[in-house]
Structure 1
Amino acid sequence: MVEQNILVLDDDKDLCNMVKMTLEHEGFVVDTAYDGNTGLSLVEKKSYLTIILDIMLPEMDGWEVCYKIRNLTNNNKVPIVMLTAKVDEDDKIMGLKLGADDYITKPFSPRELVARVRALIRREQDFKKADETLEKGELIVDSQSYKVYVKNQELDLPPKEFELIYLLVKNAGRVFTREDILEKIWGFSFAGGTRTVDEHIKRLRRKLENHSDYNYIQTVWGVGYKLEVKKDVE
């Protein structure tokens, strides 16, 4: 059985200990780190189911840690929850741009944190259990490996971008509102609102179009988005 490893990265030692005790009570194995360099070193050496990451860290802030995790050779798809006192929407969008999967603001309920962590882990495991390969045009989506290929070249997608393209490809032609996508990908009313969806769509489109002669994600004005393969017209 794979250990239920979670990393908590926050310079507030009391908060780290509280989160550690809460998660260990739920059966997880928890490592803690109090600065960005130490946390990144742990991620390079050990696999985690989820990382809980504060923004305001000494030596290397949480945004930089998040960015560097997403650019590692291994363990770069681990779900990341940003745990922070920052409440500005632009800060939340910045974290998502760098590859964070979820955001929880301080003060927070330990019960809410556990629920968010379990939801992220469950969603990733559900995708892998599906064990299916979807194809549209030059696009291949493999749920087992959590990988996406265009013209047999792997795209570098963090977990939420993978889940978004999987949803659209599996339901090709169906129009999803932004609210639909928030519910299906994040599983709750995310604090970043529908801007979160637009930012993910924008990044996903750019990655797909940089590697393909086709456009895949179409905007249905006034409604939302759908997957439909169209030849790129210069």
Structure 2
Amino acid sequence: MVETIMVVEDDEALRASLTTELQFEGYAVRDASDGKAALALYENNRGQLDLILLDWMLPELDGLGVLRRIRKHDDLPVIMMTARDYVGDKVAGLDTGADDYITKPFDIEELLARIRVILRHRHPRQPEERQLHVGDLTLDTRVRQVLRGGHRIQLTQREYELLQCLMKNAGQTMTRDELLNAVWGVDFEGQPNIVDVYVRYLRHKLQETPQDQLIYTVRGIGYILSADYQG
């Protein structure tokens, strides 16, 4: 499953740089430039975020204030970012509930390593499922075989990878960018609508009638694979 990180940073260049680096590493990113926007973004994405990178010095409401409000409802991991290197600040941040603290300027590799450590502890690695099931659709990762209603479906390599990504995240809406990064890679330089093209291929191969549909379009966002999607 694609992990989602919220970046809260008022420096536009740094925010853009962090977003690019995180997306390159395969994370989905939501971003905000001030404290009030961060809280609104958090509320709109509650339950869908895996970690927050939170700047200390923010307009509207500082990072400590944002952290206090989040901690009233959530134990979501938070890494504080700040140019202030005072021990008292670090203690205040950690006492308020930050999971880690990194001082600017920092090396991106160090930040990525800290993120990986926190997320490993939050989501212990589980053995990969050998078989994925959604309704009467089965994907066997050992032999790379797809069955629907007991009938084998022939897929190309890319179709298989796209279907596997959707099935691993069954019941969750995947954005086109998330699917593009997961299946084609962040360095893909082709047309972004390649996702839509391959979804059409999959739909054609997976369903015989409209009532058999498993892959649904979520307008303006992306796609969801579900056996009981209500739309």
Q: For the superposition of Structure 1 and Structure 2, which TM-score range results when normalised by the shorter chain?
A: 0.5 to 0.7
2:4 equivalent to 1:9: no
Matches within 5 A, 1:171-190: none
Q: Which residue number in structure 2 is paired with residue 104 of structure 1? A: 102
Larger Rg: 2
- Match of 1:118, as an amino acid? R
Q: Which residue number in structure 1 is paired with residue 76 of structure 2? A: 78
Question: Percent of aligned positions with the same letter in both sequences?
Answer: 41
**Secondary structure of 1:18's partner?**
helix
Q: 1:127 to 1:68 in 2, by over 3 A?
A: farther
User: Which stretches of structure 1, 4 residues or longer, exceed 6 Å deviation after superposition?
Assistant: none
Matches within 5 A, 1:1-234: 2-46=1-45, 47-72=48-73, 76-126=74-124
1:191-225: CA deviation from partner (whole Å, max 9, x where unpaired): xxxxxxxxxxxxxxxxxxxxxxxxxxxxxxxxxxx
Distance in 1, matches of 2:77 and 2:68, equals: 13
- Match of 2:24, as an amino acid? H
Cα drift, residue 42 of structure 1: 1.1
1:146-201: CA deviation from partner (whole Å, max 9, x where unpaired): xxxxxxxxxxxxxxxxxxxxxxxxxxxxxxxxxxxxxxxxxxxxxxxxxxxxxxxx
Q: TM-score scaled to structure 1, two decimals? A: 0.52
**Secondary structure of 1:44's partner?**
helix
**Secondary structure of 1:30's partner?**
strand
1:96-153: CA deviation from partner (whole Å, max 9, x where unpaired): 1111000000000011111111110001112999xxxxxxxxxxxxxxxxxxxxxxxx
**Secondary structure of 1:53's partner?**
strand
Q: TM-score scaled to structure 2, two decimals? A: 0.52
**Secondary structure of 1:126's partner?**
coil
Q: Which residue number in structure 1 is paired with residue 142 of structure 2? A: none
Q: What is the Cα-based RMSD across aligned positions, in Å?
A: 1.6
Question: Where does structure 1 lack aligned partners over 5 or more consecutive residues?
Answer: 130-234
- Match of 1:112, as an amino acid? E
Distance in 1, matches of 2:69 and 2:92, equals: 14
- Match of 1:111, as an amino acid? E
Q: Note if contact 2:2-2:26 (Cα within 8 Å) is conserved in structure 1.
A: no
- Aligned residue pairs: how many? 125
Question: Where does structure 2 lack aligned partners over 5 or more consecutive residues?
Answer: 128-231
Cα drift, residue 45 of structure 1: 1.7
**Secondary structure of 1:39's partner?**
helix
Q: Which residue number in structure 1 is paired with residue 187 of structure 2? A: none
